[in-house]
Amino acid sequence: MKSAADCRKHAAECRALARSSHKEDERKQLLKMADAWMLLADEHELSRTTYPELTRRAEKEAADKEAAERRASERAAARS
């Protein structure tokens, strides 16, 4: 699950790409993507305050998944 900060970072990256683009249609699309990332960041923050128990559960599930993937990677590396 992306954090609001991650979403804002993606939005900033889209805006930077839009500034460097020489194609109008590409700029417009990148700015739309930036707006979508910002909306997602706002919704993420709203859900954290409105449903904190769901946020905690999702964060725990993500951490558990990451730990399981790390252990699997370590086991695979040990077998090599």
Q: Which pLDDT belongs to residue 18?
A: 98
Q: Which pLDDT belongs to residue 42?
A: 94
Buried b / exposed e over 33-52, threshold 16 CB at 10 Å, is bbeebbebbeebeeebeeee
Q: Which pLDDT belongs to residue 9?
A: 97
Q: Which pLDDT belongs to residue 1?
A: 58
Which structural domain range is residue 8 located in?
4-79
Return d(Cα 19, Cα 30) in angstroms, integer: 9
Return d(Cα 34, Cα 27) in angstroms, integer: 10
Q: Provide the number of structural domains found in the chain.
A: 1
> Which residues of the chain register pLDDT less than 50?
none
